[in-house]
Structure 1
Amino acid sequence: MRCSPFSGCTFEAVEEVAGETQCLEETGVDILDELASLVDKSLIRQADQGAGEPRLLMLETIREYAEGRLEEDPEFSAAARRAHATYFVDFIQHEWAQLTGADREAALKEIEADIENVQTAWRFWVAEGDLEPLRKLTDCLWLLYDARGWYHAMVDLTTDLLKVLASTPSTPERAQEEIMLQTSLARALMAIKGCTPEVEAAYTRALELCQRHGEVPQLFPVLRGLSSFYTYVGDFGKGAEMGEQILRLAEHNDDASMRVEGHLVLGYNLAFLSELQLGLDHLEKGIANYDPNQHRSGRFRFGNNPGVVCFTTSALFLWMLGFPDRALKRATTRLPWPTG
């Protein structure tokens, strides 16, 4: 019964989780003896994982039977499932240290091998409505899902977090977390579904929260994400509005890098609204404000380098306005590599 919460596991995992529930087990049978007996009867098999520790795999029919037996004792079942969920939160926390170091790929494979167990733990804490362990799981899972292109799983993870977050008291910190999650949800949805109303709704919800709670750090990526969405769907009027808001935010914060983004977004949207010269003027301003040593990757920066895009997009518009020589020169300009 004590193995039933697992979807394949190591001896270490079973031993530790079983140890947490030993006091509630009436049989008094040692877990290692129990495992050895199940292996001898071919009810559990060992799978060699190469260099890693062998994993124990239970036949699905046996696992279903064990789960049924487990549910006959609600107290023991609850304790076993909590112990399992707690173990895999600790497991993920341990792997996080490896993910942020030189052994990232090895750590990703370790998590991937136990992904069903980790997701079972995730569902347990979602049902409990407990944000603390969910937050401990989120970063590692997000990194794995992103690395493997599991965007549907990213959507599920974000949706679960938003659901649990909605049950907590409203605070500025909660609002900032929801803004981040809504923005992440929009990006993940766009990756798997394209530019759908769901994507717009997620971005719009994030923007509403930004406006309700005043200036927050997440406002720029929300505006930038919405501008991309409106450009993709051909709503250049709304795209231009986002560009204007980015410029106002840049002026308020005296942020040169954000100013480049604002001129870029406003410029190409105006050009697509048949304001070609006005759009080009904004791109020229973006180029004038661009400093490769200032505009680097940062926490809320994403996508193509806006300075480079200002150069290439303005080259296209110069050609369309009848200046092929200037367009060629602009398109072939070699920008200096950031230093320092």
Structure 2
Amino acid sequence: MRRGLVLAFTLALGGFAAPVAAQDGWLAAKLGEFRERYAFPGATAAIALPDGTVMTAATGLADVEAGRAITAETPMLAASIGKSFVAATVLALESEGRLSRDDLLAVHGGDRPWFDALPNAGTITIDHLLHHTSGLPDHVHLPEFQEEWTLLTTDAGDFEPERLITFVAGREPLFEAGEAWAYSDTGYVLLGLVIEAVTGQAWHEAVRTRLVDPLDLGGTIPSNRPDLPGLAVGYVAPDNPFGLPARTADAERRLLWDPAVESAGGGFASTSADLARWGHLLFGGEAMDAPYLDRLLDGVPVDPDAPGIIYGAGVAIYADTPRGPVWGHGGWIPGYVSSLRHYPDHGVTLAFQINTDIGVMDNSSDLVPALEAELADLAIEAVR
């Protein structure tokens, strides 16, 4: 969801010098320190070292009411970090010759009943969708979508992503396709439909067969139903705009809403360990056999006043920071916050997940950028 980009833009982040076990203790201590400081229910974190070794840590509770401890293997909704999987799958399909980034969306969806009512319908390309330059509004932040959230998320197993397209159908485009930048979950929902049209598979199956399974990301599963095994309970503010109760799951830890509503705007539950490994492989050029890094990192400016920030294919890119370039994505969905960051100058990748969005959704807390910064500085120092 769009908040994923807000998190993506709240940035702080040769071999390793100390034993991994000692590093694990440091990571757990740092995560525990942040829990004491910010009083969140629970969190997990992982750091992938230059050689691919992944350290993990966890602190707090996956279910406050039941007193269930969170572990490094506890999954959470990864939200918009899923865009990196979707975009990489599109690049894989391009490598296979199944589509081109220059293809008009009309080539892969022009026969849909809603297509002609789509803003910029005749000029949007796959590349525009990848880079958020389509001019499409973002359905997630439309009042009509938020008002219908409860209705959209109660029919578990029956959700159709094309329902999301109807919220932007008939609206004026934000700008002509390719002429500016505006984050749009709707665009990635459309990419999911393109993947399905090209492969004949559900979009998340195409992601699984090309990326998740070959890379052995066993903790990553589609978030397409409320009863996700082992999922940490999420906690939201009582006055959240979606009208959700503070605890977003029932006593059996089944979500009170259907996360399939996110569709290809995110679409996965994962662990911090899997996210760190994914970032290490993706940004290290090892996620696919065919070359892809130049296409992944070929970014467009997001704001004329911030020339050092660009957006590639499902990745936010910070060209110049105190830690060198930073590549990654953030994720937010009610009750969950995630962050993925790669520091190419140091070969370090970090990920963390927190099972509350209180203070994050309304920007009243600096938790996410502070945790990103401290984990990055200490991880980089540790591998020097």
Q: Tell me which interval the TM-score lies in, with the shorter structure as reference length.
A: under 0.3
Q: Which has the higher helix share?
A: 1
Larger radius of gyration: 1
Structure with the greater relative contact order (CA < 8 A, sep ≥ 6): 1 or 2? 2
Q: Which has the higher strand share?
A: 2
